[in-house]
Chains A and B, each alone.
Chain A
Amino acid sequence: MKFLKYTALFLALFSLSATVTSCDDDDNTNPAAVNIEFENVVGSNTLELNSATPYATGAGDQITVTAFRYFISNVKLKKADGTEWAQPESYYLIDQALPASKKISLTDVPPGDYTSLTFTIGVDSARNVAGAQTGALSKGNMFWDWNTGYVFMKLEGRSPQAPGAGAVILHVGGFRKGENAVRTVTPTLNNSVIRVHEGHTPEIHVKADIQKMFVGSTPIRFSSVNNLMAAGTNAVNISKNYENGMFVVDRIQGN
């Protein structure tokens, strides 16, 4: 009982201070920035391309990764009161080979305390068929020539469990009905708040664990899935795997 009382008091004080803070924020209406840094990992290890020793996939196989890229799009931030800010023209290609690509900067964010972060892994269906193919969406080898549309996530490498010369080529994409691999996630902030205001640029550190591509509702084994370059069942299965916990907010700095 006493405990509850203290908790209530604490919460009251806390919300008072939160109110004060938000009052400050209201005074300051200038848009500010938020950075998101993606760190690609394999379980507890930071991913390294062409690593000397292969990584375990978690599903029973091993892999050496030679290329790893994915699109992040439609980034949204939401306040506790439900107010949502959606970044316009929000498309990023994260490429393990290009360190600068792994840090994205959201600018012109209205100030405030945000309690939720949402983004799409891949490219929304509309943009697969229409709109400017510039910036991160520039055509190249993340775009399918015949099947209009983008490769949402590309992982290439070698595995002793893959047949033949041991190549593993996984190009996941597809947005049409029945083969939709567009996945939108809202990784938990663990009750942290992203405090956005002028002169204050919080950095959200997101870890992306490639093991989560292979484990989950449909484990992926390289003996059978090793040359994927299409929308369809395998792509949908991998996307459902990675929707489930691949992207984790590890910490929020500069808050």
Chain B
Amino acid sequence: MALSITRRYRALLASALLMLGVASCEDKTPPPSEPAVTPTTPYNLQLPSQLPQSVVLPTNNPLTVEGVDLGRKLFYEVKLSSNNTMSCGSCHQQSKAFTDGRAKAIGVDGIAHKRNAMSLVNLLWEPNLNWDGAATGLETQARVPIENPVEMHQRLTSGVAKLQQTALYPPLFAAAFGSSTITEENVLKALAQFERTLISSNSRYEQSLLPTGPKLTQDELKGKVLFFNHPGEAGNTSARGGSCDHCHNGNTFLFTSTSFTTPGGNTQYFNNGLALSSDLGRFGVTGVASDRGKFRVPSLRNIALTAPYMHDGRFQTLEEVVDHYNEHVDANTADPILLVSNPQINGSLGALGLTATEKRQLVAFLRTLTDSTFIKDPRFSNPF
């Protein structure tokens, strides 16, 4: 007993001496001097009033001004890739609403990912991430593209070591997390903080709903009705609809299928009737047969900027996307909500039964979902 206590004290003493040693080492090397630990400044996150207010932020990673600023730099930091050529911002470019314009993302080794780079927008409202919902939080998600061989292809520990050797980062980590010793956890936390600030709420559609806002054109307004309507909506058998809103919920202004009826929100996955490929989406996560070909519903915010479309970028234009839902949905696999038809009008084709004019109007409305302030906001831009 006495011996073990002595041992414990000895160990404590040793570690105290070690800490002293470390401290004195750092004292001897002034250049990246350890700044005095100052308290962090809470980040004033403004939730736009039209978006769901009941978001749950992780208590172990509160947003701070210092953390968000650090996260922004890390987001654009090429040292997190194996050959120092790519950052998160390479495939998630602000001008394209944080996508890359490619059908499939291409990593540092020139190898294509199996999926299309998703837009990063309003992630605060996404309890599950990636096309298949495999990631259940931004902090854990961020590691995947950094380490994935077909993306940035570098172990996060290696990235941490690179950052530690810079003059820039140790003081920033000290300011954000109280220690200039960089850790994997704090890299991920900072990235997540920055990503949570990527809020878009100023699309032309939203502006048009304000009393003094710009008016939508007749085509856009007709497209809006088609977007929100289901064939036969509200018992009106002549009501024509595109059924888009069932999955891309417009009344939350998220244009996704994330629901906040449970704490923290929940994600619904849908099979949208695409011809099945080897990528079975949600099935790869759950192994449940009925999840074959189901994917998370991407937001339609800034959809005009995020071509090509679908999880594998198979459609180049919004017109092709609308053609798919109107004419090419696989009735055997698609969610039944996509299978209700409008009465056919001369010249209309396929299951949904929209005419060429209606399809054009629907696309015109989709183009009103672009938020031009979001893609130019200097808070989200490359700081280097």
Q: Which residues of A approach B to under 8 Å, CB–CB?
A: 49-50, 66, 93, 95, 97-98, 100-101, 134-147, 156-158, 164-169, 227, 229-232
Contacts and interface: CB of A to CB of B under 8 A. Distances in A.
Interface of B: 52-54, 228-236, 245-247, 249-252, 257-262, 266, 268, 289-290, 331, 335-337, 339-341, 351
B221 to A, nearest CB: 14
B261 A146 contact: no
A136 B268 CA distance: 15
Given A66-B336, A156-B336, A230-B235, 4 more contacts: A50-B289, A141-B259, A229-B233, A230-B232
B339 A166 contact: yes
A156 B230 CA distance: 14
Given A138-B261, A145-B228, A167-B339, A97 B268 contact: yes
What's the dominant secondary structure at chain A's contact region?
loop
B266, B340, B351, most chain A CB atoms within 10 A: B340
A140 B336 contact: no
Contacts of A97: 268
B341 A141 contact: no
B340 A227 contact: yes
Contact of B235 (A136, A168, A231): A231
B262 A98 contact: yes
Contacts of A168: 336
Contacts of A144: 234
Contact of A142 (B230, B233, B261, B266): B261
A50 B290 contact: yes
B341 A138 contact: no
B52 A164 contact: no
27 contacts: A50-B290, A66-B336, A95-B261, A97-B268, A100-B262, A138-B259, A139-B249, A141-B245, A141-B246, A141-B247, A141-B249, A142-B261, A145-B228, A146-B229, A156-B336, A164-B340, A165-B336, A166-B336, A167-B336, A167-B337, A167-B339, A167-B340, A169-B337, A227-B340, A229-B234, A231-B234, A231-B235
A43 to B, nearest CB: 21
A139 B52 contact: yes
Contact of B54 (A93, A95, A135, A166): A135
B114 to A, nearest CB: 25
Given A50-B290, A93-B261, A232-B235, A140 B251 contact: yes
B268, B290, B336, most chain A CB atoms within 10 A: B336
Contacts of A164: 339-341, 351
Contact of A230 (B234, B261, B335, B341): B234
B230 A158 contact: no
Contact of B252 (A135, A139, A146, A232): A139
Given A135-B261, A146-B234, A169 B251 contact: no
B249 A140 contact: yes
Contacts of B234: 144, 146-147, 229-231
A47 B230 CA distance: 27
A250 B236 CA distance: 40
The 3 tightest CB contacts between A and B, nearest first, are: A230-B235, A50-B290, A167-B336
A141 B257 contact: yes
A169 B340 contact: yes
A16 B339 CA distance: 63
Contacts of B260: 134, 138, 140
Contacts of A49: 290
Nearest to B247: A141
Nearest to A101: B262
A135 B245 CA distance: 21
